[in-house]
């Protein structure tokens, strides 16, 4: 799995940073994840042109 959000990767290591609103679902996902063999890494925006353009567009048009 590759993510352009460092926060998502951090949530795999530390569930205390996950919002209480989604914590139960996140923990369920983690239990499924632990039974699979995945490597996850962070993709910096420079290495992901699509994500970079989406972020730029979102910031320019104040879309969140």
pLDDT (0 to 100) of residue 11: 87
* pLDDT one-digit tens code per residue, 28-47: 988 998 888 777 677 776 77
Taking residue 16's Cβ as centre, other Cβ atoms within 10 Å add up to 7
pLDDT (0 to 100) of residue 2: 52
- What does pLDDT average to over the chain? 80
SS3 state of residue 42: strand
Q: Please indicate whether residue 51 or residue 18 has the higher confidence score (pLDDT).
A: 18
Tell me what percent of the residues of the chain surpass a pLDDT of 70: 83
Write down the pTM of the prediction: 0.49
Per domain, the residue ranges of the chain are: 2-60
**Spatial distance between the Cα atoms of 13 and 38, rounded to a whole number of angstroms:** 14
Q: What is the CA radius of gyration of the chain?
A: 14
Region of 62 on the Ramachandran plot (φ > 0 left; ψ -120 to 50 alpha; else beta): left
């Amino acid at each position: 799995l590759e993510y352009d959000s460092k926060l998502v990767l951090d949530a795999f290591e530390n569930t205390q940073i996950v919002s209480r609103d989604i914590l139960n679902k996140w923990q369920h996902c983690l239990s499924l994840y632990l039974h699979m063999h995945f490597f996850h890494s962070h993709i910096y925006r420079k290495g992901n042109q699509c994500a970079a353009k989406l972020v730029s567009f979102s910031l320019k048009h104040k879309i969140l």
